[in-house]
Amino acid sequence: NGEEGYHKYRHLLENGQRPAMVIIDIHMPLMDGIEATKRIIDVDPSANIIGFTAFYGTERTKQLKAAGAKKVIPRSIGFKVFRSMIKDTLLETGIAGPLLH
């Protein structure tokens, strides 16, 4: 859920561990992905948040981007393509280092 994701992100930051990437959905229990993204961006403006959602192309997608998500990807692409896109993003940004080479 979004509330748990936000608290985990904040806990990691407070302990000197900045997550390389957050993958978030729009529709989640307790706190949706839009609110969780806003809160994460409040504590870490450079957070790397990627939306992966079935609500792609809706007003909610625009709200997620406005909240601070760097990219929103439609769930309809499937998990194999999504995994490949995430791997490419990690390699392009240098976040992955030698882990994915």
Instruction: Write down the pTM of the prediction.
Output: 0.84
pLDDT tens digits in sequence order for the chain, 101 residues long: 999 999 999 999 999 998 888 999 999 989 999 999 999 999 999 999 999 999 888 999 999 999 999 989 998 898 899 888 888 877 776 665 544 44
Domains in the chain, CATH or no CATH each: 2-93 (3.40.50.2300)
Q: How far apart are CA 21 and CA 18, in angstroms?
A: 9
CB of 32 within 8 A of CB of 26?
yes
Alpha-carbon gap, residue 6 to 27, rounded angstroms: 14
Angle, vertex CA 79, rays to CA 76 and CA 81, nearest 5: 85
